[in-house]
């Protein structure tokens, strides 16, 4: 993912001053997001917070959705930095510790970009192709690296296929993403972020290290359901 911008909306090359103004507008947007919803942002309020004019805003961005897209790209870059954890030495003894690092890193990215990532996901769910592509460009490489790490410890065997490993990585990534997206205050009212993080890491470590073919597991017996008899009228 390359987010370098070298020209403004008029096609002019961005010099130092132009880059600084664009950065100020993005930082002003970040600050405003701490006190208001992304859908309430306006070019006027962002420009005022950045100490410039609305006309200057439109030199660098089409609208508020455009500047939120640019901020979403930066969040995606931060998420991509987590891939380096998968490149570190992993062993049977440190799987759970490494997974705690991964989960904590995902939580940190969401903590730093919560409002922007929520907006990205909302627009992607609404069918905006730019935001959907951006989300997938963040998700897919993460899942790919995660699946490779799972296969290194727990390769496909028996009825467990390569596609199943990618499904495992996808499910675990979705769990990390969903929990990271939850407001910290809500997490602390329940079991607490640390406990959830440690147990999610433990579950992921079990997937990485089990290597047990599905066919040797004992089938789960169905529990009969007793239906209550209707009372006579």
Residue intervals in the chain for CATH 1.10.357.10: 64-211
Return the pLDDT at 60: 96
**Predicted confidence (pLDDT) at residue 230 exceeds the cutoff of 50:** no
Task: Name the packing angle between helices 95-125 and 64-80 (round to 10°).
Answer: 160
Q: What homologous superfamily is domain 64-211 in, according to CATH? A: Tetracycline Repressor, domain 2 (1.10.357.10)
Residue 147 and residue 150: Cα distance in Å, rounded?
Answer: 5
**Predicted confidence (pLDDT) at residue 172 exceeds the cutoff of 80:** yes
Dump pLDDT digits (tens) for 58-116. 999 999 999 999 999 999 999 999 999 999 999 888 999 999 999 999 999 999 999 99
Strand partners, 157: 160
Q: Which of 133, 141, 199, 197 is nearest to 170 (CA)?
A: 141
**Predicted confidence (pLDDT) at residue 222 exceeds the cutoff of 50:** no
Residue 200 and residue 189: Cα distance in Å, rounded?
Answer: 18
Residue 31 and residue 36: Cα distance in Å, rounded?
Answer: 9
Exposure of 57 in the CB half-sphere (CA atoms within 13 A): 26
In this prediction, residue 211 has a pLDDT band, given cuts at 50, 70 and 90, of low
Return the pLDDT at 22: 95
Per the listing, tokens 């859908």 go with 39
Does the domain made of 9-61 have the CATH classification 1.10.10.60?
Answer: yes
Q: Say if residues 173 and 119 touch (Cβ distance below 8 Å).
A: no
- Helix segments in 126-192, DSSP class H: 129-153, 162-181, 184-189
Return the pLDDT at 173: 97
Residue 133 and residue 99: Cα distance in Å, rounded?
Answer: 27
Return the pLDDT at 10: 86
- Name 55's Cβ contacts closer than 8 Å, sequence gap at least 6: none
Return the pLDDT at 190: 85
Return the pLDDT at 6: 85
In this prediction, residue 42 has a pLDDT band, given cuts at 50, 70 and 90, of very high
In this prediction, residue 188 has a pLDDT band, given cuts at 50, 70 and 90, of confident
In this prediction, residue 167 has a pLDDT band, given cuts at 50, 70 and 90, of very high
Angle at 226 between CA 222 and CA 228, to 5 degrees: 155
Residue intervals in the chain for CATH 1.10.10.60: 9-61
Lookup: tokens for 68: 């939120």
Return the pLDDT at 121: 97
Residue 43 and residue 67: Cα distance in Å, rounded?
Answer: 10
Return the pLDDT at 226: 46
């Amino acid at each position: 993912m390359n987010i370098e911008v070298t020209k403004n909306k008029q096609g002019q090359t961005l010099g130092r001053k132009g880059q600084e103004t664009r950065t100020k507008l993005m930082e002003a947007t970040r600050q405003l997001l701490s006190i208001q919803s992304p859908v309430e942002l306006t070019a006027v309020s962002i420009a005022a917070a950045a100490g410039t004019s609305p006309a200057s805003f439109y030199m660098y961005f089409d609208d508020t959705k455009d500047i939120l897209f640019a901020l979403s790209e930066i969040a995606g870059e931060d998420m991509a930095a987590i891939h380096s954890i998968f490149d570190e030495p992993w062993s049977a003894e440190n799987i759970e510790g490494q997974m705690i690092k991964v989960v904590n890193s995902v939580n940190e990215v969401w903590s730093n970009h919560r409002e922007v990532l929520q907006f990205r996901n909302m627009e992607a769910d609404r069918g905006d192709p730019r935001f959907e592509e951006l989300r997938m460009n963040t998700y897919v490489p993460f899942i790919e690296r995660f699946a490779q790490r799972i296969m290194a410890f727990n390769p496909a065997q028996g009825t467990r296929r390569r596609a199943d490993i990618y499904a495992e990585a996808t499910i675990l990534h979705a769990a990390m993403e969903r929990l990271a997206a939850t407001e910290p205050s809500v997490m602390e009212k329940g079991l607490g972020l640390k406990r959830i993080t440690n147990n999610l890491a433990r579950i992921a470590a079990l997937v990485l290290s089990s290597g047990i073919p599905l066919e040797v597991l004992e089938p789960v017996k169905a529990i009969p359901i007793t239906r209550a008899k209707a009372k006579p009228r």
